[in-house]
């Protein structure tokens, strides 16, 4: 019965979003960088935000709800403006930093990044504020970067939440995360519809920025509130982090702005290799993501230090291979 009620709630939010999107002409329009050739709703993120807002409120989950509501709304507004008027990258970065500062102002902090064999606890000390701002800004931007193939961003988010469910043992939190999966799975279905469908949705910048913030916030909560070691928490983030760093460094090497859009992302290369099949691309990424997360989980069980070192080495290998075969 609960499940049916939640589906009805989702459908109500969907209909509301469709009406608002049509009235305000909220579409992702085709251009030379984009694969689709028809206008498509770019307000899938609105559905996710409203659903999450209602779920957290109606079920009385007390997970810093005021922060989730206020910062989530601010992030959605930034995404909306970016979709509408294409914000200047520098302005956008400033807007993305603001939530980090607001979290710090409200007492959210990271004192260290875990205890490791042989080296002890890696205390951040006076660097905890810059680290938190940099980490949140990077992850929010990174999730925005991977939203380039139908369903890829949602697949990434679904993978993260599913993995987090297996990491925790608190029934109420597990129940919450299962509820949070509902709009993601349903949105993924809408995302994969043919371009001609009247109900095809993209997440848009509203969705990608909100998902980036939510994953960042959730990761901090799992570390601070559930004492889950960072060695376990970094592996679900491997692709957005690796891709963001590679693309940014590659653009810098070419003396381009790191914010200049292009099709150098790995998912674009794989999409071309798979003859523009979005479904095959996200299935491949889902399987690859699951294998890498499982590998990271096993490593973390064996040695937290080895897990951290492997994550860093993984990026070096990723960067080397991508740079060698970037064409």
In angstroms, the Cα distances linking 147 to 135, 221, 232, 262, 323 are: 19, 24, 24, 13, 21
CB 144 within 8 A of CB 206: no
The DSSP code sequence of 237-298 is GHHHHHHHHHHHHHHHHTT--TT---S-SHHHHHHHHTTT-HHHHHHHHHHHHHHHHHHHHH
Give the Cα separation of 327 and 322 in Å (integer): 9
Domain boundaries, the chain: 2-228
How many CA within 13 A on the CB side of residue 295? 11
End-to-end CA distance of the chain: 52
Q: pTM of the prediction?
A: 0.90
Cβ proximity of 148 and 265 under 8 Å: yes
pLDDT of residue 117: 85
Adjacent-strand bridge partners of 28: 40
* Calpha distance 80→87 (Å, rounded): 10
Whole-angstrom distance, CA of residue 155 vs CA of residue 36: 19
Task: Classify residue 148 by burial, with Cβ atoms within 10 Å: 0-12, 13-18, 19+.
Answer: buried
- Please state the φ and ψ torsions of residue 41, each to the nearest 5 degrees: -55, 135
Residue matched to tokens 């349903």: 186
Q: What's the pLDDT at 289? A: 92
Pick from 81, 76, 74, 20: nearest CA to 45: 76
Give buried/exposed letters for 229-239 (b at 16+ CB in 10 A, else e).
bbbbbbbbbbb
Element (H, E) at 122: strand 120-123
Provide the β-strand partners of residue 115: 121
Distance CA 139, CA 245 (A): 10
Please give the Cα distance from 322 to 320 (Å, whole number).
6
What's residue 313's pLDDT?
Answer: 94
The predicted-structure confidence for 161-213, as pLDDT tens digits, reads as follows 999 999 988 888 888 888 889 999 988 888 787 767 777 788 888 989 999 99
The pLDDT of residue 26 = 83
Residues in the chain with pLDDT values less than 70: 1, 30-37, 60-66, 195, 324-327
pLDDT at 34: 62
User: Which letter does DSSP use for residue 104 in this model?
Assistant: H
Q: Which residues contact 209 (CB under 8 A, 6 or more apart)?
A: 45, 75, 76, 78, 79, 82, 96, 140, 143, 144
Which residue from 201, 224, 184, 268 is spatially nearest to 44, judged by alpha carbons?
201
Distance of CA 143 to the CA centre of its chain: 4
């Amino acid at each position: 019965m609960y499940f049916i009620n939640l589906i009805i709630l989702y459908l109500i939010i969907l209909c509301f979003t469709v009406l608002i999107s049509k009235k305000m002409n909220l579409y992702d329009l085709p251009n030379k960088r984009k694969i689709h050739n028809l206008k498509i709703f770019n307000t899938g993120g609105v559905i996710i935000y409203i659903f999450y807002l209602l779920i957290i409120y109606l079920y009385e989950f007390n997970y810093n709800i005021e922060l989730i509501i206020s910062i989530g709304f601010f992030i959605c507004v930034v995404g909306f403006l970016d979709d509408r008027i294409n914000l200047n990258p520098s302005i956008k970065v400033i807007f993305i930093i603001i939530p980090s500062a607001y979290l710090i102002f409200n007492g959210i902090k990271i004192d260290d990044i875990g205890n490791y064999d042989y080296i002890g606890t890696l205390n951040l000390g006076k660097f905890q504020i810059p680290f938190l701002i940099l980490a949140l800004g990077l992850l929010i931007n990174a999730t925005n970067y991977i939203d380039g193939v139908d369903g890829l961003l949602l697949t990434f988010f679904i993978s993260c939440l599913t993995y987090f469910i297996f990491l925790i043992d608190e029934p109420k939190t597990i129940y919450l995360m299962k509820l949070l999966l509902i709009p993601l799975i349903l949105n993924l279905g809408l995302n994969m519809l043919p371009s001609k469908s009247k109900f095809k949705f993209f997440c848009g910048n509203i969705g990608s920025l909100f998902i980036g913030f939510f994953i960042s916030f959730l990761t901090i909560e799992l570390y601070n509130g559930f004492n889950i070691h960072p060695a376990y928490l970094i592996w679900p983030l491997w692709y957005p982090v690796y891709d963001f760093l590679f693309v940014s460094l590659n653009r810098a090497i070419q003396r381009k702005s790191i914010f200049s859009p292009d099709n150098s992302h790995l998912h674009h290369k794989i999409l071309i290799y798979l003859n523009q099949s979005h479904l095959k691309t996200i299935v491949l990424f889902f399987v690859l993501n699951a294998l890498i997360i499982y590998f990271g989980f096993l490593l973390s069980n064996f040695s937290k230090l080895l897990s951290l070192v492997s994550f860093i080495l993984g990026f070096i290998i990723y960067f080397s291979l991508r740079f060698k075969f970037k064409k």
